[in-house]
Amino acid sequence: MRKSVRSKPTTTSIFPLYILCSLYVRIPTVSSGAVIMNTMISRRGPLLALAAVAEFFALTCLAATAAASGHAADRIVRLPGQPVVDFDMYSGYVTVEESAGRSLFYLLQEAPAEAQPAPLVLWLNGRPGCSSVAYGASEELGAFRIRPRGAGLFLNEYRWNKVANILFLDSPAGVGFSYTNTTSDLYTSGDNRTAHDSYTFLTKWFEKFPHYKYRDFYIAGESYAGHYVPELSQLVHRRNKGVEKPIINFKGFMVGNGLIDDYHDYLGTFEFWWNHGLVSDDTYRLLNDSCLHDSFVHPSPACDAAFNVSTEEQGNIDMYSVYTPTCNDTPSSSSSSASRRRPKGRYPWMTGSYDPCTEQYSTAYYNRRDVQTALHANVTGAIRASAMVAYGW
């Protein structure tokens, strides 16, 4: 259920994930506000085959200019504290809307040469507002895990780029290293623009990486990507319709732990809390009565109040890992006094498994200037990331 449990717009510390989902926002450039805007999922009708064909030729012509904006400059020579590896990485920006100054950040971790030509997989984290680079690439399926205090990287044994080229996209603008120079964009984000921006990103990205054109392509993600993934997939599918050999050779999509159905998501969450003894019978009933028919992104005040009651009752529990201690209690915490106090091996069941402090390591690592430089991120100091991005949904 990671990243599926909602956090509340008016508070800042209900779930640890909130902190990372506004990871690069130590210096917010936007003051908090409560601008709410509903955005509907795209109802765009299918394009005429003719239009799609025309677009195909237009894109083909654009290829001539690809050399000028090639991918070579985006190659990552080496990340600070990185072990020797047998695969290549690229990262950088693709501007998706010139007039607004909206630019999306990507990180590509390629498969090793002997696995090529491997498929290309786009990965999207959810919430909305979580960075795919900070979560997906650094704590989940990516090539590396981050060491305590952001001191360096080690290889993730379960990295997906053993068999596929994984393209992590920080989306929408305002998340992770992706930014917009138009502050109001942060309040008017939503499913539709996210899908269209992501589509624009893809078409421009393929011009930058022409050797990935026509490659088997998949879209994958988790949590709120239960919205992003099918919506972007629909757009790609529709634009591909009638095109004999589409550049974006879309083969399929995959969603893990998807937020798709608010009712059942709430139902399962509350039942989980209750049958793990985290909330009382009364609170379980209260949550049931107050939230079950609410929207996940726009809960009612009554549901908000019920969540407050349950949060209070749950106490200091890591919602995403109820069997491990919370970060501040663990020996691997970046708090060195905690590490000194607690003997190693106190939590043997944690060895080699989930480290509840992993979010702190990511925060530390990606805020390092040398890391940002190696990633070609924040080159102009123009990051306009904001925790507000989720609240304008």
Ligand X SMILES: *[C@@H]1O[C@H](CO)[C@@H](O)[C@H](O)[C@H]1NC(C)=O
The residues of the shown chain that bind ligand X, judged by CB under 6 A, are: 10-11, 24, 26-27, 40, 42-43, 95, 101, 103, 181, 192-193, 196, 267, 284-285, 288, 301, 304-305, 308, 367, 378, 380-383
347-356 long-range contacts (CB < 8 A, ≥24 apart) are: 349/323, 349/324, 350/324, 353/324, 354/321, 354/324, 355/330, 356/16, 356/318, 356/321, 356/324, 356/325, 356/326, 356/327, 356/330
CB of 7 to ligand X, least distance (A): 11
For the bound state, the minimum distance from the C-beta of residue 124 to ligand X, rounded and expressed in Å, comes to 17
* Residue 125 to residue 100: CA distance in whole angstroms: 24
Closest separation between CB of residue 157 and ligand X, Å?
A: 30
Q: Look at residue 92 and give its three-state secondary structure.
A: strand
- Give the residue with the Cβ less far from ligand X, 43 or 245: 43
Q: Please report, as a single letter, which amino acid is at residue 110.
A: E
Between 166 and 385, name the residue whose CB sits nearer to ligand X: 385
- CB 8 → ligand X: shortest distance, Å? 7
Q: Interior CA angle at 172 toward 192 and 250, to 5°?
A: 70
For tokens 């529990």, name the residue.
317
- Asked if the bond preceding 343 is cis, omega within 30° of 0, the reply is no
As measured in angstroms, the least distance from the Cβ of 360 to ligand X is 16
Shortest separation between residue 230's beta carbon and ligand X, angstroms: 15
DSSP string, 193-229: HHHHHHHHHHHHHHHHSGGGTTSEEEEEEEETHHHHH
* Least distance from ligand X to the Cβ atom of residue 332, Å: 24
- Our CB check for ligand X shows the closer of 194 and 240 to be 194
| CA distances to 141, 222, 265, 312 from 226, in Å | 17, 6, 12, 29
Distance between CA atoms of residues 56 and 106, nearest Å: 24
Joined together, the tokens standing for residue 120 give: 């290309």
Ramachandran class of 389: left when φ > 0, alpha when ψ lies in -120 to 50, beta otherwise: alpha
CB of 183 to ligand X, least distance (A): 12
Q: What is the 3-class SS of 317-331, one letter each residue?
A: CCCCCCCCCCHHHCC
Residue with smallest beta-carbon separation from ligand X: 381
Closer to ligand X at the Cβ: 103 or 161? Answer: 103
Of 34 and 163, nearer to ligand X (C-beta) is 34
Q: Which residues pair with 92 in a beta bridge?
A: 106
Of 193 and 213, the one with the shorter C-beta distance to ligand X is 193
Q: Closest distance between ligand X and the C-beta of residue 281, in Å? A: 6
Burial 270-300 (b: 16+ CB within 10 A, else e): beebbeeebbeeebbebbbebbeebebbebe
Residues pairing with 193 in the sheet:
none
Burial class (CB in 10 A: 0-12, 13-18, 19+), 210: middle
CA distance 303 to 295: 10
Helices (H) and strands (E) in the chain, counts: 10, 9
Q: Which is nearer to ligand X, 110 or 265 (CB)?
A: 265
Q: Of how many residues is the chain composed? A: 393
Task: Between 305 and 322, name the residue whose CB sits nearer to ligand X.
Answer: 305
Which residue number, 98 or 157, has a Cβ lying nearer to ligand X? 98
User: At its nearest, how many Å lie between ligand X and the CB of residue 359?
Assistant: 16
Shorter beta-carbon distance to ligand X: residue 241 or 342: 241
Least spacing, CB of residue 73 vs ligand X, in Å: 15
Nearer Cβ to ligand X, position 16 or 119?
16
